[in-house]
């Protein structure tokens, strides 16, 4: 089954758009896309529906990638944004990545588009899950802060018939009446459902102080939960203390909800004493680790240690939580059955009213799958990076990477006043090989020449295929005399190596080599290449199969 993908493409070129769509379809996506090229069109597209990914060109006639990113951010959508450009400088790319873009690709390397989208969709899902988890944590913290609040007490005196004889201002505030209004009432007038049984004469005459919870009707008709304690006074009147427990009742409901939330939490929760002994674990802990509550109680979290988490991590953990701060980190733990798994742990101290630590609570999320996904993505990125710098036929460095390394080596040599030699190598009369034996045989010959070159060079030397039958080699920290010697060794090794060309007898291949050395007058690696190329031209026109230095 194909993966459906809704793509918003900010692009003025229909041909570039179709190329991206074809690549994504080839990668197995079922594509729904829309191409926009102005801010107004993009705003309308964002308003009409939710998009899985936004792919934007950097420069458009009426728009640009930076403005498209800002428009997406203003919409407050958690949609990955990938920039695609034919030409963008490193500073511009870094700036837009810093501004919030998730990746950028060069149009010449659109084969990275599908893996990049797959990676960013996975990351977006991880970010959404993390956001939801953080929201749940914030909600739990809000419930904790409102658990217990102090109740206000009212004092009253009633006669044997239950009529109020005296009340204080706190009781008036609780019930919403003025004092003179309450004195016109009996307890049964404001008691919801029935008269308080705890105030019955026979029970009060025994001399006991009676307690009970009741619902009362406030002046505005609302119900209020109260706790009443009452005793009989000499003379037969009854004195009572009324406490508004509505907030306590609400808090109890919140505690019930919180307890249910902890019990059904998607994260494993562990509460320990200050010495580390486990006093509580929720069902998710059992589901993840395989340890039942009975097996975990009285133990310490060391039962989960795999021995593969560095000791300094635990040192930092204890220093942090004993200082009263929250510790967050990743631990490689072991389940009861011996299976390893990754925990994303948040551990903090629980303190009493005086600020003394009484317990520790750990909220742990099993991130094993996420770690595996991250590892797969990292391996994929390494493979893609390697592909981007490797010549597909010879498995040597390609021209782009060679020029990048060449620029670095040139600057280093200039800065440190060190020697640097560069040679350009071209296979002599290679067209005859292709014409005589075919292009497949020519490809085999190129591969064998590349292998011979690698064998002939030192580990420090930098070798690349510049295109066709042309190769280039950088000799770091190597002066021209030594470079000439190395170049001659390369030439001889190739000339004396028989090369296989499919089912034909081995053939002899020779190369012409031009060599140049860095000079004060040269400004960059291109100057060295031009000098070596001129020497190569001279070698070709001087009979081939020889090494010539720049004149």
| Whole-number Cα distances in Å, 516 to 207, 298, 473, 540 | 114, 76, 11, 16
To 5 degrees, how large is the angle CA 56–CA 60–CA 66?
55
User: Which residue's entry shows tokens 């090989």?
Assistant: 433
- Alpha-carbon distance of 478 to 170, in angstroms, equals 95
C-alpha closest to that of 420 among 348, 493, 380, 473:
473
Q: Which of 469, 470, 482, 488 is catalytic?
A: 469
d(CA 350, CA 255): 17
Q: Could you tell me whether strands 3-10 and 29-36 are parallel, antiparallel, or unpaired per DSSP bridges?
A: parallel
The verdict on whether 469 is a catalytic residue reads yes
CB 204 within 8 A of CB 232: yes
Using only C-alpha atoms, the chain has a radius of gyration, in whole angstroms, of 40
Enumerate the β-bridge partners of residue 363: 269, 346
* 346, burial (CB in 10 Å: exposed 0-12, middle 13-18, buried 19+): middle
Q: How far apart are CA 113 and CA 377, in angstroms?
A: 14
Task: Write the burial class of residue 325 (CB in 10 Å: 0-12 exposed, 13-18 middle, 19+ buried).
Answer: exposed
Beta bridge partners of 224: 216
What is the token pair recorded at 468? Answer: 């066709």
Give the distance between the most distant pair of CA atoms in the chain: 136
Question: How far does Cα 315 stand from its chain's mean position?
Answer: 26
Burial of 509 (0-12, 13-18, 19+ CB in 10 A): buried
Residue 88: exposed, middle, or buried by beta-carbon count in 10 A (0-12, 13-18, 19+)?
buried
Distance CA 157, CA 20 (A): 84
User: Among the residues of 51-112, which ranges form H helices?
Assistant: 65-74, 90-99
Q: How many helices and strands, by DSSP H and E, does the chain display?
A: 19, 22
Q: How far is CA 120 from the centre of its chain?
A: 9
Residues 6+ apart with CB under 8 A from 497: 448, 452, 509
Q: Give the active site residues.
A: 469
């Amino acid at each position: 089954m194909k993966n459906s993908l809704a793509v918003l493409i900010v692009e003025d070129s229909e041909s570039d758009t179709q190329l991206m769509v074809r690549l994504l379809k080839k990668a197995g996506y079922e594509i729904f896309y829309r191409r926009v090229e102005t801010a107004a069109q993009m705003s309308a597209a964002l308003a009409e529906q939710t998009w899985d990914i936004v792919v934007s060109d950097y420069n458009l006639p009426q728009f640009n990638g930076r403005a498209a990113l800002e428009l997406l951010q203003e919409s407050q959508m958690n949609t990955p944004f990938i920039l695609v450009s034919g030409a963008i400088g490193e500073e511009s790319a870094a700036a837009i990545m810093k501004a919030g873009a998730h990746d950028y690709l060069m149009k010449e390397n659109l084969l990275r588009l599908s893996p990049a989208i797959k990676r960013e969709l996975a990351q977006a899902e991880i970010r959404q899950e993390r956001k939801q988890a953080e929201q749940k944590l914030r909600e739990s913290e809000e419930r904790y802060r409102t658990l217990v609040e102090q109740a206000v007490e009212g004092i009253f005196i009633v006669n044997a018939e239950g009529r109020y004889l005296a009340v204080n201002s706190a009781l008036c505030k609780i019930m919403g009446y003025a004092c003179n209004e309450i004195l016109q009432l009996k307890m049964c007038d404001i008691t919801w459902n029935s008269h308080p049984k705890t105030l019955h004469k026979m029970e009060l005459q025994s001399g006991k102080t009676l307690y009970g919870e009741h619902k009362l009707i406030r002046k505005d008709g609302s119900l209020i939960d109260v706790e009443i304690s009452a005793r009989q006074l000499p003379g037969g009147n009854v004195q009572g203390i009324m406490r508004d427990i509505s907030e306590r009742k609400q808090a109890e409901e919140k505690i019930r909800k919180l307890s249910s939330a902890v019990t059904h939490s998607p994260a494993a929760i562990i509460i320990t004493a200050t010495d580390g002994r486990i006093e509580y674990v929720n069902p998710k802990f059992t589901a993840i680790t395989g340890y039942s509550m009975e097996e975990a109680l009285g133990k310490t979290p060391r039962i989960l240690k795999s021995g593969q988490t560095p000791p300094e991590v635990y040192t930092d953990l204890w220093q942090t939580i004993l200082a009263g701060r929250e510790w967050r980190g990743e631990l490689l733990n072991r389940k009861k059955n011996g299976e390893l798994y990754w925990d994303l742990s948040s551990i903090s101290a629980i303190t009493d009213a005086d600020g003394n630590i009484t317990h520790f609570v750990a909220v742990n999320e099993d991130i094993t799958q996420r770690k595996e996904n991250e590892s797969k993505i990292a391996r994929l990125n390494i493979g893609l990076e390697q592909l981007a710098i490797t010549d597909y036929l010879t498995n040597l460095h390609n021209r782009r990477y060679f020029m990048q390394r060449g620029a670095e080596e040139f600057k280093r040599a200039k800065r440190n006043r060190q020697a640097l030699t560069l040679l350009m190598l071209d296979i002599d009369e290679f067209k005859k090989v292709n014409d005589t034996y075919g292009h497949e045989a020519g490809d085999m010959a190129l591969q064998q020449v590349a292998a011979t070159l690698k064998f002939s060079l030192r580990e420090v030397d930098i070798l690349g295929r510049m295109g066709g039958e042309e190769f280039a080699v950088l000799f770091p920290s190597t002066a021209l005399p030594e470079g000439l010697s190395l170049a001659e060794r390369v030439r001889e090794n190739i000339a004396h190596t028989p090369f296989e060309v499919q089912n034909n007898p081995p053939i002899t291949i020779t190369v012409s080599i031009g060599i140049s050395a860095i000079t004060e007058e040269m400004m960059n690696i291109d100057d060295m290449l031009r000098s070596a190329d001129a020497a190569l031209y001279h070698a070709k026109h001087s009979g081939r199969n020889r090494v010539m230095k720049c004149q």
